[in-house]
């Protein structure tokens, strides 16, 4: 599974302007609703409930919020670089600026876990994160996401 299998060019945002975790989740629920056809309110509620279980801020300025929804037909991913970092209640208490949001069908047990692992591996690479933070356009970020598929194929 490659990142571009999850994240399409229309699901990337460079320099999103938000002031809080809640505002980010609201904005992403709105954007995800447009792409998935799922009601915005349902997406937001699932993401908020997941955050109540424990933060998805994994440290080093990275968060991977995720949730499962009953009416999705496949896994959906969204990648966002924030204009400025926000508090995400991260495990290292550092603000977050790189966020990969995943939405999965309720029935996607192993696939959901594989997608989370794939995103986590991608974002553990400090060089990759540095390049993402230095990229100013949606196309540039998508190119970096696409490059991982090419480099793993070799």
- Say yes or no to pLDDT of 153 above 70: no
> Is the CA virtual torsion 113, 114, 117, 122 positive or negative?
negative
Among candidate residues 42, 66, 112, 152, the one labeled active-site is: 66
Helix (H, G, I), strand (E, B), or coil: what is residue 71? coil
pLDDT band at residue 152 using 50, 70 and 90 as cut-offs: very low
Q: Do the strands 12-16 and 76-86 form a parallel or antiparallel pair, or are they unpaired?
A: parallel
Mean pLDDT for the stretch of residues 2-25: 92
Mean pLDDT for the stretch of residues 141-146: 92
Catalytic residue at 66? yes
Give the per-residue pLDDT at 149.
Answer: 53
- Say yes or no to pLDDT of 98 above 50: yes
Instruction: Indicate the fold that domain 3-149 takes in CATH.
Output: Mannitol-specific EII; Chain A (3.40.930)
Q: Where are the alpha helices (DSSP H) in the chain?
A: 3-6, 21-36, 40-53, 109-124, 126-133, 138-153
Mean pLDDT for the stretch of residues 130-137: 94
Give the per-residue pLDDT at 154.
Answer: 38
């Amino acid at each position: 599974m490659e990142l571009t299998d999850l994240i399409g060019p229309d699901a990337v945002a460079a320099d999103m302007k938000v002031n809080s975790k809640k505002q980010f989740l609201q904005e992403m629920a709105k954007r995800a609703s447009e792409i998935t056809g799922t009601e915005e309110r349902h997406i937001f509620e699932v993401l908020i409930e997941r955050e109540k279980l424990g933060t998805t801020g994994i440290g080093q300025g990275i968060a991977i919020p995720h949730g499962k929804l009953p009416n999705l037909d496949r896994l959906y991913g969204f990648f966002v670089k924030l204009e400025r970092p926000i508090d995400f209640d991260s495990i290292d208490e550092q603000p977050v600026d790189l966020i990969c949001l995943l939405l999965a069908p309720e029935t996607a047990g192993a696939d959901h876990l594989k997608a989370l692992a794939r995103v986590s591996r991608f974002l553990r690479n400090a060089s990759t994160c540095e390049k993402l933070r230095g990229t100013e356009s949606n196309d540039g970020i998508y190119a970096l996401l696409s490059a991982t598929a090419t480099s793993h194929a070799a």
